[in-house]
Structure 1
Amino acid sequence: MSVLIVHCSCAADGSAAAIARTLVEERLAACVSVLPGIRSTFRWRGETHTDEEVLMLIKTTAEGYPALAARLLELHPYELPEIIAVDVSVAHAPYAEWVAHQVGTS
């Protein structure tokens, strides 16, 4: 089983908490950690912006990723959300099994 950590930044307006809860309740993610205090600087539509954000670290599986990404696009308030999946090459086996069980891919 392949565990992924999906990085997704979100506005620091509380919307990440609702997204996290939905992803876990719908069994698309085993866990979502929301890290506060992120400051992102980026170019958007020809202008440079700096925004206060939070970072969601979403734990899922490679098999569950397509459904998670589709749902995240529906829930996210941004026009173009950051959705970056990183493959976990080594994980504590019982934790990896728990992730797979939670997202129904075990």
Structure 2
Amino acid sequence: MDMILVYTTFPDMKTAREIVRNLVKKRIVACANLREHEAIYTENGKVKETREVGALLKTEVSRWKELKGEIQRLHPYETPLLLRIDVDRVNREYAEWMKRVLG
């Protein structure tokens, strides 16, 4: 199994939980970590500061296309971040657990 991590952000915890729960239920991701944080960015030429929720999604490379499609379909942002990180190594026990969870 080729594991990947996908990082994305959501406007709030409620939205993050709903979408991530859907992804886990559909076995697109094995699990996710959610963390609220500060975001500083430019919008319409102005610097903004807001709170948002970062999500680190754990899955396998074969589910990348499906994961992108689901996030783009469900996400409230016009342009959601979808940052894929290919995992070079992971402990065997975790990889086996993910394989069982994802089916």
Asked if TM exceeds 0.5, the reply is: yes
> Structure 1 stretches of 5 or more lacking a match?
none
- Report the CA distance shift for 1:31/1:13 in structure 2 as closer, same or farther (over 3 A): closer
- Could you tell me the TM-score, scaled by structure 1's length? 0.89
Contact 1:40 1:51 in 2 (8 A): yes
1:64 aligns to 2:59 (yes or no): no
Q: How does 1:29-48 map to 2 (within 5 A)?
A: 29-36=29-36, 38-48=37-47
In structure 1, what is the Cα distance between the partners aligned to 2:71 and 2:49?
A: 23
Contact 1:39 1:51 in 2 (8 A): yes
Equivalent residue number for residue 54 of structure 1:
53
- Could you tell me the TM-score, scaled by structure 2's length? 0.91
Q: Give RMSD over aligned pairs.
A: 1.3
In structure 2, what is the Cα distance between the partners aligned to 1:20 and 1:41?
A: 23
Secondary structure at 1:32's aligned position in 2?
strand
- Give the drift of 1:82: 1.0
1:97 aligns to 2:96 (yes or no): yes
Question: What is the number of residues matched between the two proteins?
Answer: 103
> Structure 2 stretches of 5 or more lacking a match?
none
The amino acid across from 1:72 in the alignment is I
Structure 1 or 2: more helix by fraction: 2
In structure 2, what is the Cα distance between the partners aligned to 1:13 and 1:35?
A: 8
Encode CA deviations 1:31-75: one digit per residue, 9 max, x unaligned.
011112x11111223222211011111001111111011101111
